[in-house]
Amino acid sequence: MNKPTRIEKIIQFGEGGFLRGFVDWIVQLTNEASDFNASVVIVQPIEKGMCDKLMAQDCVYTHIMRGLRDGKPVVDKKRIDVISRCVEPYRDFSAYLKLAENPDFRFIVSNTTEAGIAFSADDKPEDAPNVTFPAKVTLLLKKRYDLGLHGFIFLPCELIDKNGSTLKKYIIDYAKLWGLGDGFANWVERENIFCNTLVDRIVTGYPKDEVIDLGYEDNMVNTSELFHLWVIEGPRDIVKEFPFDKAGLNIIVTDELERYRTRKVRILNGAHTSMIPYAMLEGIETVGDCMENEKMSAFVKKCVYEEIIPTLDLPEKELLDYADDVFERFKNPFIRHLCASISLNSVSKFKVRVLPSLLEYIKRKGEMPQNLIMSFAKLIAFYKTDMPNDDAAVMEFMKKSDVKSILANKALWDEDLSFLADEVSKYL
């Protein structure tokens, strides 16, 4: 496959399906819609990865997006040719550090999993490579600093709160631990921009159990849903350097990311968590099946539209549009999302995703949100069965205890919820 030669502007830690189906797809569309003319160099963040397989086809692959658009099944295909090459620090650490020498590099993106942005006091500067992702980045930045070059704009995609701020903190911590000097630490703060980001797209990766005829061989074909959202907390003029606004993408640059995170957690994740225990008690197997089931679909829509959205402070139309998108995503016939996989650790998920909406509704309306109360009851009933997958102590307590004891357990909910006992008991 022939591919154009572009300027290497982006260092990408991670070659997995998510970044290739999200960031690299975004770069592809931005290149096509503007004069960005950027290519991506991938750094394989772990010893065993897929870079060899990717390089075997010149880092070119097909990304397939499938889902519903206005209720109709849609399949979109895009040839992605923005990756120029791969660098493997576990084979050649000097080749990795050499990336610091190129002044054209401006962005660093990453998806090293939730455990990737970590700090270890055992990491040493002479290690080649270092154990943690932030340690590897610290050495790259130190070389950049020593060369007198400008810093980077960091756009981490790891699913942790304040991913950019946390990455910066650990880099500064390594600078102190390794005695790299105040000048370097000040340069990290002054010359680099660490954006907190929120990413939202289900990337289903290589279609293992399907035969997709592309008309050519592609061992790195990637699949995802149609929906995408990238919220970036950072300076608005980032688009002058990365003009994704020209491509009509669902990317929001804001100085207030938290409200978008709250929207996602309460509506998307809250919808999942409020319905899954109930659905499993009813013998429903997948999210798609929930949407096909008239009773379950009506229940979860009442939870979201009547009791969750009224507790959020974003513009109502924005909330309604997002909820509409969520339910269209839930109906995606190309994704088989098992209720059992979503039900993992349902108690802690309920505390974070659903309980805040329930309590805020009571506070604002002065009455009980009956659908969310019913969801709470179904959660308790679910834990009385052998279906849950959770911490052993949590499962044993939930199975053996009465409703009032469960609701009064501050270790589970961070507060005493026994005042809800009578209402919850109505649905048991």
Each residue of 281-323: pLDDT tens digit? 999 999 999 999 999 999 999 999 999 999 998 899 999 999 9
Asked if residue 208 and residue 262 are part of one domain, the reply reads no
Percent of the chain with pLDDT over 70: 100
User: Is omega for the bond preceding 129 within 30 degrees of 0, making it cis?
Assistant: yes
Who has greater pLDDT, 160 or 401?
Answer: 401
CA distances from 204 to 26, 33, 80, 249 (A): 17, 26, 16, 20
In a domain, 2, yes or no: no
Confidence of residue 2 (pLDDT cuts 50, 70, 90): confident
Asked if residue 350 and residue 371 are part of one domain, the reply reads yes
Asked if residue 408 and residue 368 are part of one domain, the reply reads yes
In the predicted structure, residue 42 carries a pLDDT above the cut 90 = yes
Asked if residue 317 and residue 280 are part of one domain, the reply reads yes
In a domain, 52, yes or no: yes
How many independent structural domains does the chain possess? 2
In the predicted structure, residue 342 carries a pLDDT above the cut 90 = yes
Residue 379, domain extent? 258-425
Q: Among residues 254, 279, 312, which one ends one of the domains? A: 254
Q: Given this model, what pLDDT does residue 1 score? A: 57
Quick one: average pLDDT of 355-384?
A: 98
Strand segments (E) across 175-293: 193-194, 196-200, 203-205, 222-224, 229-233, 251-254
Asked if residue 208 and residue 306 are part of one domain, the reply reads no
In the predicted structure, residue 154 carries a pLDDT above the cut 80 = yes
The average confidence (pLDDT) of the chain is: 96
CATH of the domain at 338: 1.10.1040.10
Asked if residue 101 and residue 30 are part of one domain, the reply reads yes
In a domain, 240, yes or no: yes
Q: Please state, in angstroms and rounded to a whole number, the distance separating the CA atoms of residues 125 and 132.
A: 11
User: Is the full-model pTM beyond 0.85?
Assistant: yes
Q: Given this model, what pLDDT does residue 18 score? A: 95
Q: Given this model, what pLDDT does residue 53 score? A: 96
Q: Among residues 230, 254, 278, which one ends one of the domains? A: 254
**Over the stretch 179-212, which tens digit does the pLDDT of each residue have?**
999 999 999 999 999 999 999 999 988 887 787 8
Asked if residue 400 and residue 274 are part of one domain, the reply reads yes
In a domain, 1, yes or no: no
Q: Given this model, what pLDDT does residue 403 score? A: 98
In a domain, 321, yes or no: yes
Asked if residue 317 and residue 246 are part of one domain, the reply reads no
Q: Given this model, what pLDDT does residue 209 score? A: 76
In a domain, 200, yes or no: yes
Q: Given this model, what pLDDT does residue 79 score? A: 96
Strand segments (E) across 105-212: 107-110, 153-156, 193-194, 196-200, 203-205
Q: Among residues 220, 254, 288, which one ends one of the domains? A: 254
Q: In what order do the strands lie in the sheet with 229-233?
A: 196-200, 229-233, 251-254
Q: Given this model, what pLDDT does residue 427 score? A: 97
In a domain, 225, yes or no: yes
Judge contact between 79 and 3, C-beta under 8 A: no
Asked if residue 166 and residue 274 are part of one domain, the reply reads no
Asked if residue 244 and residue 111 are part of one domain, the reply reads yes
**Who's near 262: CB < 8 A, 6+ residues apart?**
312
Q: Please state, in angstroms and rounded to a whole number, the distance separating the CA atoms of residues 182 and 175.
A: 8
Asked if residue 316 and residue 365 are part of one domain, the reply reads yes
Percent of the chain with pLDDT over 90: 92
122-133: b or e for each residue (b if 16 or more CB lie within 10 Å)? Answer: ebebeeebbebb
Confidence of residue 132 (pLDDT cuts 50, 70, 90): very high
CATH of the domain at 96: 3.40.50.720
In the predicted structure, residue 249 carries a pLDDT above the cut 80 = yes
Q: How many CB atoms lie within 10 A of CB 423?
A: 16
Quick one: average pLDDT of 330-348?
A: 94
Quick one: average pLDDT of 46-73?
A: 94
Asked if residue 196 and residue 266 are part of one domain, the reply reads no
